[in-house]
Structure 1
Amino acid sequence: MKYIKAWLAVVGLLAAFILIAPAPAQAAPYCGITWGSLAKTAGSASNATAANVRAGQHACFDRLVVDLQGQANGYTVEYVTEVVRPGSGVAVPVRGAADLKITVKAPAYTSSGAASYTPANRNELVNTAGYATFRQVALAGSFEGTTTLALGVRARLPFTAFVLNGPGNTSRIIIDVAHRW
């Protein structure tokens, strides 16, 4: 009986500790990022033309920049099962566990039909070796006034997209993808 009372006392103390112990604090968002992974879209078509694609690494995210000649404001960025070439529907395979389809509402050709952006290798627009999140950037194509890029990323991670205008008559569409949730 003495052991049962001692055992009940220990169980009672443990139960009391569990009930009064403070709940663990909620983890702060990674680097303060609260973007989410749902599709982002803005703006409309413009007379701007795609001029270049480049990327950079930051402490909390990888950044893709689409340089445009002219003032652009339209894009759609979304996770898809696979990115396809506009007009033909042929899949554009990219490395990574998730595919971001980036549709820039501006063509990669001028009003006279000349190419405004001609990458050396449409399947490797940017060298992503050593990036925390990016795995591959490919040009899917430019069709009917829009340019589509395929961005292969490590996983379905939070991202944001926005437009920066200037300097002069140029603009940039920026896509940032977080390194983690």
Structure 2
Amino acid sequence: MASVASAAGPASAPYCGITWGSRDKTANPSTSPRLVNVRAGRHDCFDRLVLDVRGGNVTGYWVRYVATMTEDASGRVVPLRGGAKLSITAQAPAYDAAGRATYRVANRAELVNVAGFRTFRQVAWAGSFEGTTSVGLGVRARLPFRVFTLPGRLVVDVAHLW
């Protein structure tokens, strides 16, 4: 008796072994370091956004796809280029206990130059209010992402493909 191939075909391996998914990622806060820098980098399988902090490690964050990115407190829309928008909020204000800025925003619409990146289209400031800082990340499409912390930083990786 001849074998019959599955209608679905063979299962394919995930792109670059990525199994992250595109659902919300969160962690409950317990410390409040200060934001001091935002930077981005390109890798073979993903683009990376890093929020650098000083005075502890980021233990609280909320990262999710949103229909519209808005500024903290004011609710004003933050325009973002790309087919999808990631809202990134870290329990890390961009000011110290005296209210002095620990991260200075030179251009609210372009925190990091991501020209030439495969996935990232724009990184924009969305504010720092009540102990948290928010950044909008415009990406090419709703793609899998992961979030993790390293000493002194919050890392968001967005895959190039599904």
**Would the TM-score normalized by the shorter structure come out above 0.5?**
yes
Give the aligned CA root-mean-square deviation in angstroms: 1.3
d(CA) in 1 for partners of 2:48 and 2:132? 21
Q: Which is higher, the Rg of structure 1 or of structure 2?
A: 1
Unaligned runs of 5+ in 2: none
State yes or no: 1:174 paired with 2:155. Answer: yes
Deviation at 1:46, TM superposition (A): 2.2
Tell me which amino acid in the other structure corresponds to 2:102.
Answer: S
Partner of 1:22: 5
Deviation at 1:47, TM superposition (A): 2.9
Deviation at 1:30, TM superposition (A): 0.4
* 2:157 aligned counterpart, secondary structure: strand
TM-score by length of 2: 0.94
Larger helix share, 1 or 2: 1
Contact 1:62 1:177 in 2 (8 A): yes
Percent of aligned positions with the same letter in both sequences? 56
Deviation at 1:69, TM superposition (A): 0.6
TM-score by length of 1: 0.85
Equivalent residue pairs, number = 159
d(CA) in 2 for partners of 1:43 and 1:73? 7
Runs of 4+ deviating beyond 2 Å? 20-24
- Identify the match of residue 37 of structure 2 among 52, 64, 69: 52
Contact 1:45 1:145 in 2 (8 A): no
| Superimposed CA distance per residue, residues 100-147 of structure 1 (whole angstroms, 9 cap, x where no aligned partner) | 000001100000000010021121011111100000000100000000
- Identify the match of residue 136 of structure 1 among 109, 122, 125: 122
Unaligned runs of 5+ in 1: 1-15, 166-170
* 2:29 aligned counterpart, secondary structure: coil
Contact 2:32 2:91 in 1 (8 A): no
- Identify the match of residue 148 of structure 1 among 122, 134, 141: 134
